[in-house]
Chains A and B, each alone.
Chain A
Amino acid sequence: MDILGLLIPVSLFLGAVGLAAFWWMLRKGQFEDPDGDAHRILRDDYDDKPKS
């Protein structure tokens, strides 16, 4: 069962990475227009530089 001593910190760390990523996405406004982003990827006009 010694492996638990390694696995638990690792799983906690991975979870924390996910949480931090979510926090970053929230800050960047990626949840502001979910419908629009889903449609934008399908449209015909080609963006050289997608607007942020």
Chain B
Amino acid sequence: MTATFEHVRPSACPACAVAPAAEHLAELPKEATLMLSLPGIHCAGCISGVERALLAVPGVRDARVNLTLRRAAVTAGPEVEAETLTAVLERAGYEAHELDPGVLATTAADRAGRDLLMRLAVAFFAMMNVMLLSVAVWSGAEGVTRDMMHWISAAIAIPAVIFSGRPFYVSAWGALRARRLNMDVPITLAIALALVTSSYETIHSGEHAYFDAAVMLCFFLLGGRYLDHRTRASARSAAQELAALEVPRAVRVTDAGEETVSVAELAVGDVVRVRPGGRVPVDGLVLSGQSELDRSLMTGESLPVFAGEGSLVSAGEVNLTGPLTVEVRAAGRDTALHRIADLVAVAESGRANYHSLADQAAKLYAPFVHILSVAAAVGWWLYTQDVRIALNIAAAVLIITCPCALGLAVPAVTTAASGRLFRKGLLIKDGTALERLAEADTVVFDKTGTLTHGLPTPLDADALPPEAAQVALALAEGSAHPLATSLAKALRSAGISCAEVNGLREVPGHGVEGLWRGQVVRLGRATWLGAEAPEETATFLKIGETAALTLRFADTLREGAAEVVEALQRQGKRVILISGDTRGAVARFAQAIGIEEVIAEALPQEKVALVAELSGQGAKVLMVGDGLNDTAALAAAHVSISPASALDAARSASDMVLMGRSLAPIADAVRTSVSARARIRENFTIATVYNVLAVPLAVAGLCSPLIAALAMSLSSITVSLNALRLK
């Protein structure tokens, strides 16, 4: 958690106001709330299991699972780390990911949702009461009784509509100020005109008042708005919260010693130290130290690269084995990391001109409604020379044509679809993402970290002679290098015991060595052991003076990857694999999974270029990727999906995020999106049919408030029910 000194708060003691730092120290949190994402939970047993497992961890004071959001909030002492908790849950059999404590920042979104819900409740209350009163009028109340009903309706409806319709007025005013028309302009106009003519009629003891219609309009439209908000808010927050991987801090080496500073403070020429396991914070030149770097998130290369004195490193790479001292060549905005971010910004602007089905409908609808109601009013005025009748007709036309069903048509389907996909483990971040996914005809996959786990596993550990295997295990356990830990895990699970190796020593950037029965044994890079490096990920074992043994590694396929590729190909989509990894590794992998179009050794720019080129040819591209190198391509694609393990940048650039490990939901998502688009179109048709039937009545002046109320509620209910048919 970062300490901010900017925040101003009224302080009771003057000393605290003078020394904000002291005040801050005094209020340092004694316990922190940690948030965990639990994509796999689904039943009462899971709730109990997770809470019990969490409460058993020392230091945890309280744990509460939210099944709706699939999250757990844990209150714990400062000594408890989120990794400990996720590890505990994994052992208990629940998949868990850490969420950023920035979760608390989502309360703003919650407040907006609660605000909408309250307006919805007020509109519902008013609608029910006004309806009851209207029943008396519809069934033939006359004279004083009718006037009384109208007056009471007005007293309820006017304040309720002013309060609950506020979101529409604000949005309509914003659109008008920008000299545009949106859906909310006719809505606001209809509500205002209905209230004004109804009040006028009530004052003059008129026959028709549309208070019920105005309130009902507010209720149904707010319902659509609320559904829309809820879908987006839950997805947006969950995608943002998955723990951040960026490095906000660096260790700067000065003459006075080492100090931890924010990355923003670093200047070119500074010297920083990067510890093993840490992420490189800047672009720079290695001054001293030897290590290996994992570039997979930056470039997609699965094989760690050697870094020694004079090597260039860039921000975002992970230092694996030895400490490095790096001279800053570029920091902050100038780093390669940020250039990728800029690429994303450029790519994103291209997608902004997608018009959703709702927008297309609104564009046709808004001008048409205004023209129609003005024409009806003018016609009646010419015919009867009576402004009162003309205004009444205009109000009736606006109310009848008001997009109740249109306002529900899209949110109802999107809510149904995203709820379905959420249960399968897919978060939809953008409202129009489903529509765009339904259009996709080309799928571009990244390899490392997307179709694979990004973690190598040894291929032929069983083939090693038993003694060599024991030595390899002893050596592998002496290193934290990913290849070594993976090898050690595989050998252990094969039931191999450790050989006695003395003087175990890690040679940063090269490997591990030790003494076994008086011979030097080494496990490490090809160049170090004088072996020939093959075209794939491998490490080597050399015992004494014998020839080095090759231990090949391959990335393991992510669950569901093969099925997804096959399902997409069966659906007739063009599937392309693009990776920054070496040619050999990519080709072998593509063959195994059955993808024919392959592009290897692609730079981030080339990925964007490919996506842009495909789009230029008229293809609608679905991009699936996880690394920084994919980020720009994700943003440029027509629609994009990233796994939960992806970098923040990649997740925020994509429209959908997979919550679990499996890729299988992608095929489901494509199927659901196609069916959702069909439902949305049907809903528009239903809404239009109702309008076409009712508008002539309104124009002819035959539309009583009863017909308006019936048409409005029937169309809204039909549309909602149709949305629920979604498979």
Chain A interface residues toward B at CB < 8 A: 1, 4, 8, 11-12, 15-16, 18-19, 22-23, 26, 31-36, 39-40, 42-45, 51
Return the contact of A31 from the options B43, B65, B117, B156 (Cβ within 8 A): B117
Return the contact of A26 from the options B67, B68, B118 (Cβ within 8 A): B118
Q: In this assembly, does B66 line the interface, its C-beta being within 8 Å of a C-beta of chain A?
A: yes
Cα(A36)–Cα(B63), bound, Å: 14
Would B122 and A26 count as touching, CB distance under 8 A? Answer: no
Closest Cβ of chain A to B237, distance in Å, is 13
Would B65 and A36 count as touching, CB distance under 8 A? Answer: yes
Those 7 A-B pairs whose CB atoms lie nearest each other, nearest first: A36-B67, A39-B44, A43-B44, A35-B67, A35-B68, A33-B66, A19-B125
Residues of A within 8 A of B133 (CB): 8
Q: In this assembly, does B129 line the interface, its C-beta being within 8 Å of a C-beta of chain A?
A: yes
Closest Cβ of chain B to A42, distance in Å, is 5
Return the contact of B48 from the options A12, A15, A44 (Cβ within 8 A): A44
Would B66 and A26 count as touching, CB distance under 8 A? Answer: no
Closest Cβ of chain B to A4, distance in Å, is 8
Query: B63 — nearest CB in chain A belongs to which residue?
Result: A51
Closest Cβ of chain B to A49, distance in Å, is 12
Would A39 and B67 count as touching, CB distance under 8 A? Answer: yes
Would B47 and A22 count as touching, CB distance under 8 A? Answer: no
Residues of A within 8 A of B62 (CB): 51
Cα(A45)–Cα(B45), bound, Å: 10
Cα(A26)–Cα(B67), bound, Å: 18
Q: In this assembly, does B132 line the interface, its C-beta being within 8 Å of a C-beta of chain A?
A: yes
Residues of A within 8 A of B44 (CB): 39-40, 42-43
Cα(A44)–Cα(B45), bound, Å: 9
Residues of B within 8 A of A35 (CB): 67-68
Query: B120 — nearest CB in chain A belongs to which residue?
Result: A22
Q: Can you list 26 pairs linking A and B with CB atoms under 8 Å apart?
A: A8-B133, A11-B129, A11-B132, A12-B156, A15-B125, A15-B128, A15-B129, A18-B125, A19-B121, A19-B125, A23-B118, A23-B121, A26-B118, A33-B66, A33-B67, A33-B69, A34-B68, A35-B67, A36-B67, A39-B43, A39-B44, A39-B47, A39-B67, A40-B47, A42-B44, A43-B48
Cα(A40)–Cα(B132), bound, Å: 38
Return the contact of B47 from the options A1, A16, A31, A43 (Cβ within 8 A): A43
Cα(A36)–Cα(B45), bound, Å: 11
Return the contact of B129 from the options A12, A32, A44 (Cβ within 8 A): A12
Cα(A32)–Cα(B710), bound, Å: 34
Would A33 and B125 count as touching, CB distance under 8 A? Answer: no
Would A43 and B118 count as touching, CB distance under 8 A? Answer: no
Interface digits, B109-148 against A, CB 8 Å rule (1 contact, 0 not)?
Answer: 0000010011001100100110011000000000001001
Cα(A7)–Cα(B488), bound, Å: 80
Would B68 and A32 count as touching, CB distance under 8 A? Answer: yes
Query: A52 — nearest CB in chain B belongs to which residue?
Result: B64
Cα(A44)–Cα(B129), bound, Å: 43
Known A26-B114, A36-B68, A40-B44; 8 more pairs at CB < 8 Å? A8-B133, A8-B152, A15-B128, A26-B117, A33-B69, A34-B68, A36-B47, A44-B48
Cα(A1)–Cα(B141), bound, Å: 11
Chain B interface residues toward A at CB < 8 A: 43-45, 47-48, 52, 62, 64-69, 114, 117-118, 121-122, 125, 128-129, 132-133, 145, 148, 152, 156
Cα(A15)–Cα(B156), bound, Å: 12
Cα(A8)–Cα(B121), bound, Å: 20
Cα(A18)–Cα(B127), bound, Å: 14
Closest Cβ of chain B to A35, distance in Å, is 4
Would B45 and A43 count as touching, CB distance under 8 A? Answer: yes
Residues of B within 8 A of A22 (CB): 121
Query: A37 — nearest CB in chain B belongs to which residue?
Result: B67
Closest Cβ of chain B to A46, distance in Å, is 11
Would B66 and A36 count as touching, CB distance under 8 A? Answer: yes
Query: A45 — nearest CB in chain B belongs to which residue?
Result: B48
Query: B145 — nearest CB in chain A belongs to which residue?
Result: A1
Residues of B within 8 A of A19 (CB): 121-122, 125
Return the contact of B64 from the options A11, A16, A51 (Cβ within 8 A): A51
Residues of B within 8 A of A4 (CB): 145, 148
Cα(A31)–Cα(B121), bound, Å: 13
Residues of B within 8 A of A15 (CB): 125, 128-129
Cα(A26)–Cα(B152), bound, Å: 28
Cα(A19)–Cα(B128), bound, Å: 12
Cα(A8)–Cα(B52), bound, Å: 53
Residues of B within 8 A of A16 (CB): 125
Residues of A within 8 A of B67 (CB): 33, 35-36, 39
Residues of A within 8 A of B118 (CB): 23, 26
Cα(A39)–Cα(B48), bound, Å: 10
Would B48 and A32 count as touching, CB distance under 8 A? Answer: no
Cα(A32)–Cα(B145), bound, Å: 44
Among A11, A22, A23, A39, the one with the most B-chain Cβ atoms within 10 Å of its Cβ is A39
Query: A27 — nearest CB in chain B belongs to which residue?
Result: B114
Residues of B within 8 A of A12 (CB): 129, 156
Cα(A31)–Cα(B118), bound, Å: 12
Closest Cβ of chain A to B303, distance in Å, is 44
Cα(A1)–Cα(B145), bound, Å: 9
Cα(A36)–Cα(B65), bound, Å: 8
Residues of B within 8 A of A31 (CB): 117
Query: A18 — nearest CB in chain B belongs to which residue?
Result: B125
Residues of A within 8 A of B45 (CB): 43
Query: A39 — nearest CB in chain B belongs to which residue?
Result: B44
Cα(A11)–Cα(B125), bound, Å: 11
Cα(A16)–Cα(B160), bound, Å: 12
Residues of A within 8 A of B122 (CB): 19
Cα(A10)–Cα(B148), bound, Å: 16
Closest Cβ of chain A to B125, distance in Å, is 5
Cα(A22)–Cα(B119), bound, Å: 11
